Amino acid sequence: MWFILTVNSITLGGLLFLLSAGFSLIFGLMRIPNLTHGSFFMLGGYLGVTYLNCGMNFWVAALLAALTMAVIGGLVERLLLRPLAGNAMQQVLLTLGLSFIIADLSLTIWTGDPVRVPTPGGLEGTADFLSLHFPIYRLAVVGIAVTIAVGLWLLIDKTRLGAMIRAGVDDAPMARVVGIPVSALFSLVFALGAALAGFAGLIGGPYLSIYPGLDSEMLPLALIVVILGGINSLLGALVGSIIIGFLFNFGQVLFPNLAYMILFLPMLIVLLFRPQGLFGRNA
């Protein structure tokens, strides 16, 4: 039982990383918490299931869901957030209003019944190793999350695009002055964040399933991860996700009534002693 809990914790941590990495990047660049991020996760899941029902392969559906979410995210940034540039509070509240609209439309389209997502073919069942049963699909999710984490790290730290994003994060007006197309980066990062969230929504499906209210369950987890790990730090998002993954799973088994309280404790400690987060830099 300890073993499966550990596997579950790491799986959830991986999913949370996919969710919160985008959240953290958007926050770093645009200085707003995107409160539709939980909705992007849920919407990605629902869209993916719709593609699956059209007879698509699971991975194709996941990529297509990510792509659709990227387009939606880009549109949201261009059409809704861009006109409010410079007024962070208005932008945040707009993303909040948008999350209600998405939640309600999803309820209308996909009804209130939870949707079970089938485990993709070839990854069902468990692999036995050292007399331990590893659920293969969950390991695959962890593997994907790790791959994406490495990819994001390479993107941000090693490429020219990443350098531009980092410059935009550090000082957007100055980056603009030296000719970096910061506005285009905003759309790009927003689309990337939405795509990651949507992708996570479908690949998390066989484990979490998709249901109304999933959005408002995932959003606070992303918030806590980012508060814990520090804004705009991929490493922080990774460590924060793993911590929350473990606390969530173990907390629910050991103290079912207080699972939410236990999530809250590390956040409280971090806020008291290190308000910028574990890996955040001083403002």
Partner 1 sequence: MTASSFKGLWIALFFVLLATLPLWISDGYYVNIASQILIWAVAAMGLNLIVGYAGLVSLGHAALFAISGYAVGIAMSAGFGHLAAALLGIGISILTAAIFGALSLRSTGIGFLMITLAIGQILWGIAYRWVSLTNGDNGVSISSRPAPFGFNIEDATPFYIFTLMIFALALASTALLVFSPLGAAIRGIRDEPRRMDALGYNVWLTRFSVFVMSGFWTSIAGLLFLYYNGFVSPQVLTVQSSAEILLMVLSGGSATLFGPLVGSTIIVLMKNVASSFVERWSLVLGLIFVLIIIFIPEGIVPGLVSSGRKAVQLYKRRRPPASTGADL
3-class SS of residue 115? strand
User: Which one of the spans 44-52, 175-183, 195-203, 255-263 is the region binding partner 1 (CB under 8 A)?
Assistant: 255-263
Residue 223 as a binder of partner 1 (CB under 8 A): the answer is yes
Distance CA 150, CA 113 (A): 36
Shortest distance, CB of residue 221 to partner 1, whole angstroms? 9
- In 52-77, which positions are buried (b, 16+ CB within 10 angstroms) versus exposed (e)? beeebebeebbbbbbebbbebbbebb
Shortest distance, CB of residue 167 to partner 1, whole angstroms? 21
Residue 79 as a binder of partner 1 (CB under 8 A): the answer is no
Question: How many whole angstroms from its chain centre is CA 223?
Answer: 10
Residue 118: phi and psi, rounded to 5, are: -70, 145
Residue 78 as a binder of partner 1 (CB under 8 A): the answer is no
Distance CA 23, CA 187 (A): 13
Calculate the dihedral angle through the C-alpha atoms of 244, 250, 254, 256, rounding to the nearest 10 degrees.
60
Residue 75 as a binder of partner 1 (CB under 8 A): the answer is no
Residue 271 as a binder of partner 1 (CB under 8 A): the answer is yes
Distance CA 239, CA 156 (A): 17
Query: Which residues 6+ apart lie within 8 Å of 31 measured at CB?
Result: 88
CB contact at 8 A, 115 and 56: no
Residue 103 as a binder of partner 1 (CB under 8 A): the answer is yes
Residue 278 as a binder of partner 1 (CB under 8 A): the answer is no
Could you give the string, one character per residue 132-161, with x where binding to partner 1 holds by CB under 8 A and - elsewhere?
------------------------------
Could you give the string, one character per residue 202-221, with x where binding to partner 1 holds by CB under 8 A and - elsewhere?
--------------x--xx-
User: Which one of the spans 11-19, 143-151, 159-167, 254-262 is the region binding partner 1 (CB under 8 A)?
Assistant: 254-262
Instruction: Give the binding site for partner 1 (CB under 8 A).
Output: 31-33, 35, 80, 83-84, 87-90, 92-94, 96-101, 103-105, 107-108, 216, 219-220, 223-224, 226-227, 256-261, 263-264, 267-268, 271-272, 275
